[in-house]
Amino acid sequence: MASKIQKLKEELAILENQTSLLYAEAKETYQKYLKTLSQSVQKQLILAVYQICTQSYPQAFLKLSYSQRQKIQENIKSLGKTLDPKLLSYLDKTDNLDSEPGASLNIMEQMLLNLSNTETPEEEKTIEDELLLPVESTTPKNTVINNPNHLVNWCKMLEQGIVTTLNNLSKEVNHLLQQAHILPSQLPPQVLDMAIQAEEAGQPMSGSPNLLNVIVETGAKNLDETAEEPEIPSKITKITALHLRLSEIEFADANLSLHHREIRNLLEKIAQLRKQYQKKQRECAVAEAEAAWRACWYEE
C-alpha cells in the first residue's frame, strides 16, 4: 500500500511539473495577446468615438471650439494609452487562487462555447465541466503556478480582468464625452454605467461595433390629481455611447484572433491536465484512507 501511495504522489509531482511548464507558456501567450489587444483597442476606441462625435452627435461636436475638439481627442488618446500597463498587470497576480473568481466570465464562456462547437458531446463535457468545476486545492500560493486548479483560476482571473478593464475604459470615455456636452449631460452617468453592465449580463448588442444604444424616458406625467403643477409630458430619448466589446475587437483584428485561438488551445490542454490531476488526487486520497483504516483496525 505504501508503494502505491508513493507511486501516486510521484505521478502528481509529474503533473505539477507539467503545470508549471503550461503556466509559463500561458503567461507568454497571454502577454502577446494583451499587447496586441491594447494596440487594437486604442485604434478601435478612436474609431468608435469618431462615430459618436460625427454620426451620432455631430451638432454637439460642432458647437465646440477648435481647441476643445483637440482636447477631447488628446484625452481619448491618453486614456487609450493607460490600457497596456493595466492589462499586463494581471499577468503577475497570483493571489487568492484557491477560490474561484465570482463574476461571470463572458470571454471564458465564449471560448468554451467555441470549443464545444468543434468537439463531440463527451469531449465537450470534459473541457467545459473541468474548467467550471469548483476548486478544491491545498497547494500554497506560489509565484510559479504548479497546481492545475490554480492555473484554471489564474486564467479566469485574467479573463475577468480584461472584461473589467474594457468596461472601465468605456465608462471613463463616456463620462469624458458627457463633460464635453457631446453625450447628453443631463443624463446621470450611472445610467450609462448600468447599461454597460446590463449588456454584459446578456442583453442584446447594438448594430454598430463598440457602440451602445440606450433608450431613456425623461420627464413623467403628474399622477397627483390634486396637485396644481401641470403634467410634464414624458420624452423618449435614444442615447448612443461607447461600450468596448472584446468579441467585436477581436473580430476586427486578425492578429488578435490568432492569439485568441492559441489561448483557446492552451485552455483545452489545461482542462485535460486538471482532469488528470483531480483523478490522481482522488486515487491518492482513497489509498491513504484505506491505509489509515488498516492501521487502526484490529480484530477482537
Contact 67, 290 (CB under 8 A): no
What Cα–Cα distance (Å) separates residue 193 from each residue in 130, 210, 220? Answer: 33, 14, 23
DSSP code of residue 96: S
Domain residues for 24?
2-202+247-296
pLDDT, residue 80, reads 94
pLDDT of residue 116: 41
Q: How many domains does the chain have?
A: 1
For the chain, percent of residues with pLDDT exceeding 90: 57
Over residues 13-66, the pLDDT tens digits come to 999 999 999 999 999 999 999 999 999 999 999 999 999 999 999 999 999 999
pLDDT band at residue 108, thresholds of 50, 70 and 90? very low
For residue 2, the model assigns a pLDDT of: 76
* Domain annotation covers residue 79: yes
Helix %, strand %, coil % of the chain (to 5)? 65, 5, 25
pLDDT at 231: 57
Of 53-62, 133-142, 197-206, 252-261, the range with the lowest mean pLDDT is 133-142
- Residue 151, classed as helix, strand or coil, is helix
203: pLDDT strictly greater than 70 = no
The answer to whether the beta carbons of residues 109 and 116 sit under 8 Å apart is: no
pLDDT of residue 152: 93
Answer whether residue 230 is part of any domain.
Answer: no
Cα–Cα distance measured from residue 179 to residue 50, given in angstroms and rounded to the nearest whole number = 17
247 is written with which cell numbers?
468579441
Per the domain annotation, does 235 fall within a domain? no
Domain membership flag for residue 125: yes
Residue 242 located in a structural domain: no
The SS3 assignment for 31 reads: helix
Determine, yes or no, domain membership for 38. Answer: yes
Phi-psi region of 209 (alpha: psi -120 to 50; beta: other; left: phi over 0): beta
How would residue 112 be classed by pLDDT, with cut points 50, 70 and 90?
Answer: very low
184: confidence class by pLDDT, cuts 50, 70, 90: confident
pTM (two decimals): 0.78
Residue-wise pLDDT for 229-245, tens only, equals 555 566 787 889 999 99
Establish if 221 belongs to a structural domain.
no
pLDDT at res. 129: 44
Whether residue 106 has pLDDT greater than 90: no
Q: CA-CA distance, 46 to 66, in Å (whole number)?
A: 18
Would you say residue 272 lies in a domain?
yes
In the numeric block, which cell numbers belong to residue 133? Answer: 468545476
Instruction: Judge whether residue 118 has pLDDT over 50.
Output: no
Give the model confidence (pLDDT) of 151-178 as tens digits. Answer: 999 999 999 999 999 999 999 999 999 9
